[in-house]
Amino acid sequence: MPATLIGLIVALACVMLGAITHGVSPVFLVTNVTALLIVPGGALGATMASFEFEATTGVFKAIMKAVLPKPMPDGAVNIGILVEFARKARHDGLLSLESEIGQIDDIFMRRGLQLAIDGSDPEAVAQVLKTDIKAMKVRHKVAADWCQAYGIFAPTFGIIGAVIGLIATLAELDHPELLGAGIGGAFVATFLGVFMANGVMLPLSNRLKRLSALEVQGRELVLEGVLSIQGGQNPRVIEETLISYLSPKQAAAFREAGNGG
**In angstroms, how far is CA 32 from the centroid of its own chain?**
31
Using CA atoms, how far apart are residues 259 and 214, in angstroms rounded to an integer? 22
Using CA atoms, how far apart are residues 30 and 8, in angstroms rounded to an integer? 16
What value does the mean pLDDT of the chain take?
A: 89
* Cα Rg of the chain (Å, integer): 26
Contact 76, 253 (CB under 8 A): yes
Domain span including residue 173: 3-72+137-199
Full DSSP string of 133-166:
HHHHHHHHHHHHHHHHHHHHHHHHHHHHHHHHHH
Task: Please check whether residue 181 lies inside any domain of the structure.
Answer: yes
Task: Please check whether residue 194 lies inside any domain of the structure.
Answer: yes
Task: Please check whether residue 156 lies inside any domain of the structure.
Answer: yes
Q: What is the DSSP letter of 246?
A: S
Query: What percentage of the chain reaches a pLDDT higher than 70?
Result: 93
Task: Please check whether residue 15 lies inside any domain of the structure.
Answer: yes
Contact 153, 201 (CB under 8 A): no
Q: What angle do CA 253, 112, 101 make, to 5 degrees?
A: 75
Q: What is the DSSP letter of 51?
A: S
- pLDDT for residue 179: 63
pLDDT digits (tens, 9 = 90+) for 174-196: 666 666 666 777 788 999 999 99
**62 residue type, one letter:** A
Task: Please check whether residue 172 lies inside any domain of the structure.
Answer: yes
Task: Please check whether residue 55 lies inside any domain of the structure.
Answer: yes
Task: Please check whether residue 232 lies inside any domain of the structure.
Answer: no
Task: Please check whether residue 208 lies inside any domain of the structure.
Answer: no
pLDDT digits (tens, 9 = 90+) for 70-117: 887 788 999 999 999 999 988 888 888 888 888 888 899 999 999 999
- pLDDT, mean of each 10-residue run, the chain (261 residues): 85 91 83 88 96 93 88 87 91 87 89 91 94 95 96 95 83 66 79 94 95 94 94 92 91 77 49
Residue 149 CB coordination number (10 Å) = 20
Q: Looking at the 3D structure of the chain, how many domains does it have?
A: 1
Angle in degrees, 0-180, between the axes of helices 122-170 and 53-67, rounded to the nearest 10: 100
